[in-house]
Amino acid sequence: MPQRLLLTPPLALSLAFVLAGCTSVSVPTPVPATAPPLTHAPTLTPSPNPEVVGSYGGWAFKMPSAWNVVWPQIWTMPVGPGLFLSDAAIADPCPTQPEPTGCWLPLTELPANGILVTFSGSAVLTLANQSPVPMVRKAGQPCLDIGGDEEIATLLRGFGVSACLRGPNLASNETAFRRLLSTMIHP
């Protein structure tokens, strides 16, 4: 009786590799009379203000990557600060116990041209407009306590977002805050 070759999948794959190595086809490529000029590969220049994605309460947003982020201990649910963002160094204002000031300030002084963004719980449950227009006003308390000159604030479904800005150049951080708001999406 003749013997049959048992071809298992690993054996078939090995055989295919062996046969492929034995059957190479050479295709001549023309050589140019003169070599083409060398061109440098494009260099990627990092953006001066790259963005990162953040989130709060199921909403996603983009913010400058240089901003600092603090998720404070929440003592006053459902209202009160729930997230701080700033271009200055910040820390949890009440890491171990609530303070009489309500734990609203993660820094003692906002530097010149600084911004402090606060996401805070709100009693507002539903708004007709998903992207309300932010209101700009002169700084009030507690923004004024840290040297702020201007505040911008808006309410979204269930929370508010505000920015405390210090001059003299308010425009750049106002633009950064408006950019953050424009990128907010609720998946």
Residues of the chain with pLDDT under 50: 1-47
The predicted structure's pLDDT at residue 98: 76
| pLDDT given at position 49 | 58
Cβ contact 61:117 at 8 Å? no
Tell me whether strands 80-86 and 68-70 are parallel, antiparallel or unpaired: antiparallel
Would you call 150 exposed, middle or buried from its count of C-beta atoms within 10 A (0-12, 13-18, 19+)?
middle
**Model pLDDT, residue 125:** 60
Q: So what's the pLDDT on residue 148? A: 97
What is the per-residue pLDDT for 75?
67
Chain centroid, CA 144 distance in Å = 27
Residue 174 tokens read as: 């106002």
Q: Which pTM was predicted?
A: 0.69
DSSP-derived letter for residue 64 is E
- Residue 76: CB partners within 8 Å, gap ≥ 6? 98, 102, 103, 121
Q: pLDDT value at position 90?
A: 94
Contact 147, 167 (CB under 8 A): no
Q: State the residue for tokens 């907010």.
A: 184
pLDDT of residue 123: 67
**The 115-121 sheet, strands edge to edge:** 68-70, 80-86, 115-121, 159-165, 150-156, 135-138
